[in-house]
Amino acid sequence: MNEIPATMRQLRSLVTPEGELRLSVATVDTPRPAEREVLVRVEAAPINPSDLGLLLGMADVSQAAAGGAADEPTVTAPIAEPVLRLLAARVGDPMTVGNEGAGVVVAAGESPEAQALLGRTVGFIGGATYGEFCLASPRMCLPLPDGSDAADGASSFVNPLTALGMVETMRREGHTGLVHTAAASNLGQMLNRICRNDGVPLVNIVRRPEQADLLREQGATYVCDSSEPTFDGDLVAALRETGATLAFDAIGGGPLVSQILNAMEAAIVPDDAPYSRYGSDVHKQVYVYGALDRRPIELHRRFGFAWGVGGWLLTPFLARTPPEDLARLRQRVSDELTTTFASSYTDQISLGQALDVPTLQRYAQQATGQKFLLRPQL
Amino acid sequence: MNEIPATMRQLRSLVTPEGELRLSVATVDTPRPAEREVLVRVEAAPINPSDLGLLLGMADVSQAAAGGAADEPTVTAPIAEPVLRLLAARVGDPMTVGNEGAGVVVAAGESPEAQALLGRTVGFIGGATYGEFCLASPRMCLPLPDGSDAADGASSFVNPLTALGMVETMRREGHTGLVHTAAASNLGQMLNRICRNDGVPLVNIVRRPEQADLLREQGATYVCDSSEPTFDGDLVAALRETGATLAFDAIGGGPLVSQILNAMEAAIVPDDAPYSRYGSDVHKQVYVYGALDRRPIELHRRFGFAWGVGGWLLTPFLARTPPEDLARLRQRVSDELTTTFASSYTDQISLGQALDVPTLQRYAQQATGQKFLLRPQL
């Protein structure tokens, strides 16, 4: 235990009552693991879209400004009034950030499952991975193969299990093909590799021609670009060929969800079918797992009555998954860590660099093809 | 069999390629039942909201005009161009109308289940109940108690089983209370009686003060009027008291679905709860079973990720229901036909009167408190 310092640096995100986001690197006591916990020395943590909501509090980062002392830098940015009301519950609470990461287990509670991980390099889900050390539950740790680089395991949890969770959900709910939006993301590329390996027909929806090219270069068969005038027809054709009746949507605003449902219905109903006011009896489902577009979802109902739209998140999916299935999924991630589940990073930054204004403005963009890795030990 | 005439009168609804709705009373061959069918002499058939879409083809009935010969009247009304496109599959096909009705089984196929109904008065689902005779499947017939008036059984299928189906769905999916919109409808009043009998907490949402009064007079505890400025707060308070996390919505357009989901989430999350970007983990569900408002559904997402919105229809619900459960539901309808499941009608009309322009304009309104019964033998 004597290698563990008494205090450590940790990134904090505060929303002030005046409507200001304030990011800082706090010096706090290094936590001690309880009986069923481990302490991980965090080597690498990705900045995922799912982290940015909490980290940036929907602030206007174009107006971000540096502040604080040279050895204790801060960055501030204004938050619009309507957004601030949504954040009421977090005002005044300097929150820890970072959903996942990888590193070495340097301390463990007394329970056997915690002790078993001592000394291992693990990928894990934390909630405070943007810091030098972080507590984790053994159930939320994925031991990496011996000799793994922590950077390879930094994204071994959220994206791999989300992508596998989509395919599992498809099978559990009786669908035989998938649709994915924002499909050129790191997650989308991973899903494309899984579906190719498993023979699952996948319709990739992207928003720009270069994203379509990227997926096609990676062997994707069905790619529909929503910026093309032929999009609706392209989508119906791809759905007719794949028979996909389940979509996972990261956009979550505007008309796209109902474009997908309407295209599914059009693909199901033959052109010469007799009129039915109730639509086909084939269930069409869209799960919304993100909110890249903050407008309301608009459902233009021309898709009958056999449909569903709902929220989907990794944590409740994992909670519903039997232990033997979870073990199988985790083993697959470990076995294919540097192939199917490889993530690539365009930038590696320290905790301090995360507070550098131009750097922050870059990772806040969530641009496809750009991905940041935080290295808290730098 | 000699009491059955060779031909019969039947209401038909035609959409012409030119964009005109044309209703007529056709004279057609009286059908003969196949092995597993019965022929019902239709005594009474309700005009339900679920019939009007097919009957009227979303035509502009304010411009309806009478036509045809004196003994073969017709009525026509224009259909707007965008609506006409949605109806492409029915253009040129003079469709039969009428989802349910009641009458006497006057002929039956050779199968035992068909023969068992011969001579009985039944409520039934047909698809062509707006005619003097109609075929039905024995599975879709509810034998009425001896001595029943057919008028009492005319609405014994769609509304009673829909209302019971809502409560069944609530139990199957693990909810413990219900929300219902357009709650002062005949169906809504029925649901209120079921929930009172069964001790199921029910939040009734109505659109006018007089509808709220009507439900309160019938013993409803929770009534929220969406025309009141206090609606959102009233709804949260009612949801907090009832714990209802499942809604059935007949409106199906505009912001109401997300008002309900947001109010459910607000009722679940205590005011002093710590901030969670993902919302509560309590699943909130809205099933849309109607389309009284033809605007798109707008989902303003402040209700986290544990939510679902979907279509709900009686027929697929019945198809998913095990035979023993279905028998229990049907027995209950039969036992409580003139109490819990009583329907009242403001107008009784003949097939010919259904084509009378002022009469048509009245039943097309779908006004709460007004209900028409068609009597094809008049």
Q: What is the pLDDT of residues A177-194, one digit of tens each?
A: 999 999 998 899 999 999
> Please, which pLDDT band fits residue A328 given cuts at 50, 70 and 90?
very high
CB atoms within 10 A of CB A62: 9
Q: What is the mean pLDDT of residues A353-360?
A: 95
Q: What's chain A's length in residues? A: 378
Cα–Cα distance, B8 to B96 (Å, whole number): 13
Cα–Cα distance, A138 to A333 (Å, whole number): 16
Test B296 with A300 for CB contact under 8 angstroms: yes
How far CA B252 is from CA of A211, B258, B290, B315, in Å, comes to: 35, 11, 6, 19
Q: What is the pLDDT of residues A245-258, one digit of tens each?
A: 999 999 999 999 99
- Under DSSP, the state recorded for B295 is S
For A84, the 3-state DSSP assignment is helix
Test A310 with B309 for CB contact under 8 angstroms: yes
Q: What's chain B's length in residues? A: 378
ipTM for the whole predicted complex goes beyond 0.90 = no
**pLDDT value of residue B191:** 98
Chain B contact probe: residue of A276, A286, A301 with most B CBs at under 10 A: A301
**pLDDT value of residue A134:** 97
Using beta carbons and an 8 Å cutoff, which residues of A are at the interface with B? 53-54, 86-87, 89-90, 93, 95, 252-253, 258, 273-278, 281, 288-289, 291, 296-302, 304-313, 315-316
Q: Which residues of B touch A273 (CB under 8 A)?
A: 89
Q: Which residues of B touch A253 (CB under 8 A)?
A: 301
Amino acid found at A75: V
For residue A182, what are the contacts with CB-CB under 8 A and spacing of at least 6? A188, A205, A206, A207, A250, A251, A290, A292, A368
For residue A263 the two structure tokens come to 């295209």
Cα–Cα distance, A13 to A22 (Å, whole number): 6
For residue A8 the two structure tokens come to 């450590």
**pLDDT value of residue B88:** 85
**pLDDT value of residue A1:** 46
Q: Which residues of A touch B315 (CB under 8 A)?
A: 278
**pLDDT value of residue B1:** 46
Place of tokens 């229809």: B313
For residue B378, what are the contacts with CB-CB under 8 A and spacing of at least 6? B348, B349, B350, B351
Q: How many helices (H) and strands (E) does chain A have?
A: 12, 19
Q: What is the pLDDT of residues A270-325, one digit of tens each?
A: 887 877 878 899 999 999 999 888 899 999 999 999 999 999 999 899 989 998 99
Q: Which segments in chain B show pLDDT lower than 50?
A: 1
Q: What is the mean pLDDT of chain A?
A: 93
pLDDT at A205 over 90: yes
Chain A contact probe: residue of B280, B297, B318 with most A CBs at under 10 A: B297
pLDDT at A207 over 50: yes
Cα–Cα distance, B170 to B165 (Å, whole number): 8
**pLDDT value of residue B79:** 95
Domains in chain A, CATH or no CATH each: 7-155+343-374 (3.90.180.10), 159-314 (3.40.50.720)
Q: What is the pTM of this model?
A: 0.87
Cα–Cα distance, A254 to A256 (Å, whole number): 6
